[in-house]
Amino acid sequence: MIGWARYEPDRRALIRAWVISLVPALPAVYLVFASPVTSQTSPLWSVWVEVETLALRSLVLIVPLGLLYLQSRERRPNAPIIAAAVMVVGQFVTIPISGMVSGWGALNRDPDRAASAITHSVSIVHGATYRVLSYGDGKYGMYAVVRAGGRLDSEFFPESLYRRSFRDESAYATFLTKRKVEYVLVDHRYKKFHTNEQALLDAIAATPGDAGCVGGLRVQRELQTATLTTYRITRGCSAPVATN
């Protein structure tokens, strides 16, 4: 709308039509803000994701308009070459923000063996909430858990997965409680994200007695193989009261 405003003789009509066009989009706007992924991310990160998404998807309009521009200029004979060059270069330029590394790899990638083995190594409890910490499988492990009857603590968006470190055990316990996590599945390669999450799980699980109750929950290591570690989260315990 802004780009066309300078050429439009009746700008009031243009603005009125633009406002009317926004009305059908309101339900989609509501769904965005009602989605759990919005509440699980900071406002700044949410704004960045929107800008990134808009920048990439705007190419659907920018590329055709750019081709029409080239067609109307003296460079018309070279327009196909220029357009092809822009497309190719654009693939490389947008790699850092478009996830094209994973996209190109998917053309010749089979389901990751470690991710495929999750539901064979672990008996998924139907309806239980799982936090799946996987790596390099295109979220296949998460899909496998859902297909086996489990629920996820996050959406499939990267910003909802929360691949970050936590301040301490109490902060991590609060996080697990907020997301109602009952089981945590950790791929042995998840350490490549360089977070302290598994270290916190191990620390809480290794603490005996009442001291092992952090934020009203306990952690128990149920299974450990060469490729996967499973932790069970139980609630209802009481942390010891500090005495002077």
* pLDDT tens sequence across 10-67: 878 888 888 888 898 888 888 877 777 666 677 777 777 778 778 778 878 887 887 7
Give me the pLDDT at residue 2, please: 67
Amino acid, single-letter form, for residue 219: V
**Could you tell me if 203 and 169 are in contact, meaning their C-beta atoms sit under 8 angstroms apart?**
yes
What's the CA gap between 80 and 85, in Å, rounded? 9
Q: Read off the pLDDT band of 77 (50, 70, 90).
A: low
pLDDT tens, position by position, 223-237:
898 889 999 999 988
- Classified as helix, coil or strand, 185 is strand
- For 68-93, letters b (16+ CB in 10 Å) and e give eebeeeeeeeebeeeeeebeeeeeee
Contacting residues for 60 by C-beta, under 8 A, at least 6 apart: none
Q: pTM of the prediction?
A: 0.70
Both tokens of 59, joined, read: 């190419």
Q: Please say if the pLDDT value at position 217 is more than 80.
A: yes
Rounded CA separation 191/202 (Å):
13
> Comparing 145 with 102, which gets the higher pLDDT?
145
d(CA 128, CA 148): 11
Q: Check if the beta carbon of residue 40 is closer than 8 Å to that of residue 162.
A: yes
Residues 98-141 pLDDT 10s: 666 667 777 777 777 777 788 888 899 999 999 999 887 778 88
CA distances 5 to 2, 8, 18, 103, Å, are: 5, 5, 11, 37
